[in-house]
Amino acid sequence: MAKINDNYLRLQGSYLFSTIGKKVREFSEQHPEADIIRLGIGDVTRPIAPTVIEALHKAVDEMGHEETFRGYAPDLGYDFLRNVISEKDFKARGCDIEPDEIFVSDGAKCDCANIQELFSTDNTIAVCDPVYPVYVDSNVMAGRTGLYDTASERYGKVIYMPCTKDNDFVPDIPKEVPDMIYLCYPNNPSGAVITKERLQEWVDYANAHDSVILYDAAYEAYISDPSIPHSIYECEGARDCAIEFRSFSKTAGFTGLRLGFTVIPKDLTTGGEKLWPLWARRHGTKYNGAPYIVQRAGEAVYSEAGRREIEEQIAYYMGNAKIIYEGLKGAGYEVYGGVNAPYIWLRTPGNMTSWEFFDQLLTQSGIVGTPGSGFGPSGEHYFRLTAFGSRENTTRAVERIVSR
Ligand SMILES: Cc1ncc(COP(=O)(O)O)c(C=O)c1O
């Protein structure tokens, strides 16, 4: 008999967004006339930039000719993409990251879920609370988290690091030393950023304890404050303790195209073992490379015209963020995030639970957001709105919330 991996049975309930989807579906069925505005799921809405579309067309045409046809991509990504990433995302910011330390993939979600395979299941993990659920769930599947306790809404072996307004949504160093530390800045869901000083403290801590930081920088393109680090490698010593994940999804609207990359410095070791060759081996065994045409599209993101068009898109979303942030603040809400990140994190009014506020906002105002408690217990009494809607819908949503 084939036995299943029963760690999967420890995964909790239905995924946050399926519960939201079900509630919205039921409400629409009962109120077909309702004009619902969705500021819940973090998917982009602006079309792909023209320069990127042009690069895609060109690459598609190349595939139709014998002389320019491409088969399997190199396991770790095409040099034309890795070179430009190394130069523009890292060296231009003073980070010493070489092209061959960049592993191109089809997105950050798979990479930050799969990276834990390199580590022993005996390791302890530390996550922010609230958190992007993929970090915890991928470790549940691997059997690293222990049993789930419904009372505390926590897995027994996970170190949860509360991120609240009292610590500016940046975790304090935990009492128990974790082996693997997941950090994500700019943060989903809180929209918070981390200063270079606080990030340096984490790097120093990881180096002092031989821990590894798994740093998710999927939203770095939204940082406008020049003092905020875009990469963990801006910190001294990060090459010795950190892996970084990047995504083209929110940077350039690639949620449907799929492209991302992971950085593993060649000298990064843990317990005396280098991680680079292990990830290279895993990549080569389990992955056959992001499509050529998509990697060419990714390259175009770094061209002068591509960069300009993408900055316009980001400015559009951040214009939405400003409308939400200022509108809600003006109406007396306690609001966070939304300045260097496309997420607005608000305190629910009247101490309502996150789900109570969700239901009220849906049924009274026809607006869909995301209950903060869905991201972890410390997210209770918070609520996430995203800046990824259209300008028109964002403005209408804020008008509705303000006039509640
Ligand atoms: C923090 C974080 N990391 C990673 C991802 C996934 O990125 P990708 O689309 O590249 O898989 C998301 C998407 O919502 C995210 O919020």
Question: Per-residue pLDDT tens for 279-318?
Answer: 999 999 999 999 999 999 999 999 999 999 999 999 999 9
Q: What residues flank ligand 1, with Cβ below 6 Å?
A: 42, 107-109, 132, 184, 188, 216, 218, 247, 249, 255, 260
For the chain, which domains are there? Answer: 14-43+305-402 (3.90.1150.10), 53-302 (3.40.640.10)
Query: For residue 16, what pLDDT band results from cuts at 50, 70 and 90?
Result: confident
CA of 249 to the centre of ligand 1 (A): 7
Q: By percentage, how much of the chain surpasses pLDDT 90? A: 96
34-79 residue pLDDT tens: 999 999 878 999 999 999 999 999 999 999 999 999 999 998 999 9
Provide mean pLDDT across the span 108-119: 97
341-370 residue pLDDT tens: 999 999 999 999 999 999 999 999 999 999
How far apart (Å, rounded) are the C-alpha atoms in residues 103 and 260?
A: 9
Ligand 1: which of 127, 132, 343 to mutate, most ligand atoms within 8 Å of CB? 132
Query: For residue 7, what pLDDT band results from cuts at 50, 70 and 90?
Result: very high
Provide mean pLDDT across the span 253-271: 97
In the block, which residue shows the tokens 């809600």? 328
CA of 109 to the centre of ligand 1 (A): 5
Preceding peptide of 186 cis, ω within 30°: yes
Q: Is the pLDDT of residue 33 over 80?
A: yes
CA of 1 to the centre of ligand 1 (A): 37
8 Å CB contact between 87 and 341: no
CA of 247 to the centre of ligand 1 (A): 7
Query: For residue 88, what pLDDT band results from cuts at 50, 70 and 90?
Result: very high
Provide mean pLDDT across the span 222-234: 98
Closest residue by CA, ligand 1 atom 16: 188
How far apart (Å, rounded) are the C-alpha atoms in residues 213 and 272?
A: 16
Ligand 1: which of 243, 250, 259, 384 to mutate, most ligand atoms within 8 Å of CB? 250
Instruction: Give me the pLDDT at residue 13, please.
Output: 72
The pTM of this model reads 0.97
CA of 350 to the centre of ligand 1 (A): 32
CA of 130 to the centre of ligand 1 (A): 15
SS3 for 360-400, per residue? HHHHHHCEECEEHHHHCHHHCCEEEEECCCCHHHHHHHHHH
> Which ligand 1 atom is nearest residue 110's CA?
11
- Edge-to-edge, what's the strand order for the sheet holding 335-337? 335-337, 343-347, 382-386, 370-371
Q: Which of 5-19, 60-74, 90-104, 330-344 has the lowest mean pLDDT?
A: 5-19
> Which ligand 1 atom is nearest residue 187's CA?
1
Q: How far apart are the first and last CA of the chain?
A: 58
Query: For residue 167, what pLDDT band results from cuts at 50, 70 and 90?
Result: very high
Q: Is the pLDDT of residue 14 over 80?
A: no
Closest residue by CA, ligand 1 atom 14: 42
> How many CB atoms within 10 Å of residue 20?
21
How far apart (Å, rounded) are the C-alpha atoms in residues 54 and 46?
A: 16
Instruction: Give me the pLDDT at residue 246, please.
Output: 98
How far apart (Å, rounded) are the C-alpha atoms in residues 138 and 10?
A: 11
CA of 66 to the centre of ligand 1 (A): 36
In the block, which residue shows the tokens 């991928």? 138
Q: Is the pLDDT of residue 337 over 90?
A: yes
Ligand 1: which of 41, 104, 188, 245 to mutate, most ligand atoms within 8 Å of CB? 188
Instruction: Return the amino acid letter for 183.
Output: L
Closest residue by CA, ligand 1 atom 10: 107
Could you give the C-alpha distances from 168 to 174, 230, 303, in angstroms and in order? 16, 18, 36
Instruction: Give me the pLDDT at residue 40, please.
Output: 87
Ligand 1: which of 247, 259, 375 to mutate, most ligand atoms within 8 Å of CB? 247
Q: Is the pLDDT of residue 18 over 90?
A: no
How far apart (Å, rounded) are the C-alpha atoms in residues 233 and 263?
A: 10
DSSP reduced 3-state for 345: strand
8 Å CB contact between 84 and 261: no
